[in-house]
């Protein structure tokens, strides 16, 4: 603003002095002003537009809330931030090292140390700040009532017959452990533990879609049944079943991890774990810090961003609460962003302190151009076809570790018709469902998906196969007779009902006049007076059109008799319209009555 103002002033003065005779003093003052302007301009720092930051988010949607929080904070710091791009761990670290991604908020350390040790990543990408210090826990839990009743302290206790019987929900004689989806890294660790501790004959690793399996387990726990499960934090399960209140962490017999994680075994023993059966507690998995990770050159060029990332912390309980909101139906992209905005508003004073400190650290405007957004990594065509879905009862249900429901039946019929092999995978939220298709991780999605203009810009939808209607219900204290009278009253008060009757009578009167004009001079049986004749003609017109020939003496009437069937059809049409009006009022009256 100052630069623009001084430039305009100097230009105006130059034009003035050039077009007017001025004194030597005025010319001298103009020269001094111009010299001052040059000095000021040379002293001003170069101003460049803040770069657009490329931020990534993980493939697990329980981490998308944090990504939106960072996105909002960076925006309030003055940066443009591109929409988060969903990447796997390997993809993010590789793209961050190549400068294609600037940062993400989903680094788990020491679990992700192996990525930082790779030659092309070491020294180029670094963790910064402690978003959730020591908050990422993993382990096994049992409902508190069962743990106290059978004195369950560790996985070794699961070999006792009475414990196996209590935790056996499918009747196969083994304790049922709800574990990780096939392909998750934690699934490999669980299988390793079951083998290492000799639990293969005592415990069954239940695998499927984690969220609906856990939802069913929570329902059983609330009904007083025993449950055994694996979980991690932050996760919505900790909000539904708080450790120490509804469930307890149990230990593993001794610290042991697969060969590629042996160096972390000492970190599986930790103190101060809320809800654990012992302190220190051997959870069997190392504790992780959740940290932001960024390209080192990007951080060096943007000290304000580094300062902000070093300060941001998000309470574990807040993340778990947001994850529970996603599971309850608030899982759209806009929902997640609103959750982040609400969290920032609720912590406004703290956020303002973070931003003030970051601005002070970044006195020099950012000068590094943002890396262009890499084109989405689209995998080759999947064989079999990969289908992604989400629970949306009754269209998509999850029972007996399998997806069912109308939408699933519809897809199965399509697959049979096209002779397609497919793999069905479940996710927790609509945002994750759409993202899987958009980034090419799935070929198509089928569930109860609402079609919006924003989604149409990103994805192609089929024609709707279900349209919902909404009604307002109110309580009714009327008797059956009162309801019947209300219906009759609603019908009789309808103006459209009388419009229809009036139109029908008018048409019949027109027909009656045509008959009367045609027959009065040719038929001696025809009444002479107008009112009597019109009445008789009206009766014939409203009947079946056949009076034994008494009304067909004239040639005109005989020719018009050819159109009697058409008149019958028209009368039937009018009756149908009246019936339709009656039905509309009948059902609307019943709905308004709350029945």
pLDDT tens string 77-106:
999 999 999 998 999 999 999 999 999 999
Asked whether the predicted pLDDT for residue 214 surpasses 50, the reply is yes
| Mean per-residue pLDDT, 380-397 | 78
132 pLDDT band, cuts 50/70/90, is very high
- The residue ranking higher by pLDDT, 215 or 41, is 215
pLDDT tens string 184-204:
778 899 999 999 999 999 999
pTM over 0.85: no
State the virtual CA torsion across 111, 117, 118, 124 in degrees, nearest 10.
110
pLDDT of residue 346: 96
Here the contacts of 183-186 (C-beta below 8 Å, separation 24 or greater) are 186/138, 186/230, 186/232, 186/285
Asked whether the predicted pLDDT for residue 365 surpasses 60, the reply is no
Residues 6+ apart with CB under 8 A from 467: none
Percent of the chain with pLDDT over 70: 75
Domain residue extents for the chain: 55-133+290-361, 134-288, 385-457, 486-545+557-586
CATH code reported for the domain at 55-133+290-361: 3.40.190.10
CA 229: distance to chain centroid?
26
Asked whether the predicted pLDDT for residue 46 surpasses 80, the reply is no
Please check whether residue 494 is in contact with residue 585, taking contact to mean a CB–CB distance below 8 angstroms.
yes
- The residue ranking higher by pLDDT, 415 or 284, is 284
pLDDT of residue 510: 84
Please provide the average confidence, as pLDDT, over all residues in the chain.
80
- The residue ranking higher by pLDDT, 17 or 472, is 472
499 pLDDT band, cuts 50/70/90, is confident
* Domain 55-133+290-361 identical in fold to domain 385-457: yes
For residue 374, give the DSSP letter. P
Cis omega (within 30 of 0) on the bond before 280?
A: yes
- Residue 28, classed as helix, strand or coil, is helix
Q: End-to-end CA distance of the chain, in Å? A: 68
Asked whether the predicted pLDDT for residue 408 surpasses 90, the reply is no
Please check whether residue 284 is in contact with residue 140, taking contact to mean a CB–CB distance below 8 angstroms.
yes
- The residue ranking higher by pLDDT, 282 or 208, is 282
Here the contacts of 487-493 (C-beta below 8 Å, separation 24 or greater) are 487/585, 487/586, 487/589, 487/590, 490/585, 490/586, 490/588, 490/589, 490/592, 491/582, 491/585, 491/586, 491/589
CATH class of 134-288: alpha beta
Please check whether residue 84 is in contact with residue 57, taking contact to mean a CB–CB distance below 8 angstroms.
yes
Asked whether the predicted pLDDT for residue 45 surpasses 90, the reply is no
- The residue ranking higher by pLDDT, 225 or 215, is 225
* CATH architecture for segment(s) 385-457: 3-Layer(aba) Sandwich (3.40)
Asked whether the predicted pLDDT for residue 563 surpasses 90, the reply is no
Cis omega (within 30 of 0) on the bond before 578?
A: no
Asked whether the predicted pLDDT for residue 380 surpasses 90, the reply is no
Asked whether the predicted pLDDT for residue 8 surpasses 90, the reply is no
| Mean per-residue pLDDT, 206-234 | 92
Please check whether residue 395 is in contact with residue 371, taking contact to mean a CB–CB distance below 8 angstroms.
no
Which range, 313-317, 370-374, 419-423, 501-505, is most confident? Answer: 313-317
């Amino acid at each position: 603003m100052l630069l623009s103002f001084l430039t305009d002033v100097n230009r105006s003065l130059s034009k003035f002095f050039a077009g007017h005779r001025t004194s030597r003093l005025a010319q001298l003052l103009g020269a001094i002003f111009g010299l001052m302007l040059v000095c000021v301009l040379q002293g001003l720092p170069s101003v460049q537009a803040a770069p657009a930051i490329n931020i990534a988010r993980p493939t697990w949607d329980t981490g998308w809330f944090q990504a939106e929080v960072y996105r909002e904070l960076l925006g309030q710091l003055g940066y443009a931030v591109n929409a988060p791009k969903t990447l796997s761990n390997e993809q993010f670290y590789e793209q961050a090292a190549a400068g294609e991604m600037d940062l993400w908020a989903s680094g788990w350390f020491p679990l992700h140390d192996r990525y930082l040790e790779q030659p092309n990543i070491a020294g180029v990408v670094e963790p910064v700040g402690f978003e959730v210090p020591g908050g990422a826990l993993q382990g096994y839990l049992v409902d508190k009532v069962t743990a106290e009743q059978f004195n369950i302290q560790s996985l070794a206790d699961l070999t006792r017959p009475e414990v196996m019987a209590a935790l056996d929900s499918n009747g196969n004689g083994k304790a049922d452990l709800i574990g990780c989806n096939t392909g998750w890294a934690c699934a490999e660790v669980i299988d390793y533990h079951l083998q290492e501790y000799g639990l293969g004959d005592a415990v069954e690793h239940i695998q499927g879609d984690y969220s609906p399996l856990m939802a069913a387990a929570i329902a059983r726990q609330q009904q007083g049944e025993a449950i055994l499960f694996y979980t991690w934090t932050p996760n919505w399960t900790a909000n539904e079943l708080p450790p120490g209140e509804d469930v307890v962490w149990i230990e593993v017999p001794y610290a042991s991890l697969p060969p590629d994680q042996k160096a972390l075994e000492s970190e599986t023993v930790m103190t101060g774990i809320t809800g654990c059966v012992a302190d220190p507690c051997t959870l069997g998995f190392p504790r992780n810090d959740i940290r932001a990770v960024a390209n080192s050159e990007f951080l060096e060029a943007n000290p304000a961003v580094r300062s902000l990332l070093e300060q941001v912390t998000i309470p574990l309980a807040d993340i778990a609460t947001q994850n529970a909101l996603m599971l309850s139906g608030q899982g759209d992209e806009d929902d997640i962003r609103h959750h982040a905005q609400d969290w920032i508003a609720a912590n406004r004073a703290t956020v303002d302190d973070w931003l003030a400190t970051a601005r002070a650290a970044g006195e020099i405007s950012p000068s590094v151009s943002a890396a262009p957004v890499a084109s989405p990594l689209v995998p080759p065509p999947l064989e079999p076809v990969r289908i992604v879905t989400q629970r949306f009862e009754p269209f998509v249900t999850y029972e007996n570790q399998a997806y069912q429901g109308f939408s699933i039946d519809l897809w199965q019929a399509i697959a049979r018709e096209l002779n397609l092999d497919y793999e069905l995978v479940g996710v927790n939220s609509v945002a994750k469902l759409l993202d899987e298709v958009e980034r090419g991780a799935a070929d198509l999605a089928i569930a109860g998906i609402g079609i919006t203009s924003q989604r149409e810009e990103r994805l192609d939808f089929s024609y709707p196969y279900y349209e919902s209607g909404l009604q307002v219900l109110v309580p009714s204290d009327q008797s059956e007779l009162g309801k019947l009278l209300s219906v009759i009253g609603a019908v009789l008060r309808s103006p459209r009902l009388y419009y229809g009757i009036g139109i029908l009578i008018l048409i019949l009167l027109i027909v009656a006049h045509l008959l009367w004009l045609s027959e009065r001079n040719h038929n001696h049986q025809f009444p002479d007076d107008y009112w009597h004749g019109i009445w008789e003609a009206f009766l014939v017109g409203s009947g079946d059109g056949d009076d034994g020939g008494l009304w067909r003496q004239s040639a005109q009437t005989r020719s018009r008799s050819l159109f009697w069937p058409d008149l019958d059809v028209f009368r039937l049409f009018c009756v149908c319209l009246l019936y339709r009006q009656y039905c509309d009022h009948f059902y609307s009256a019943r709905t308004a009555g709350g029945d």
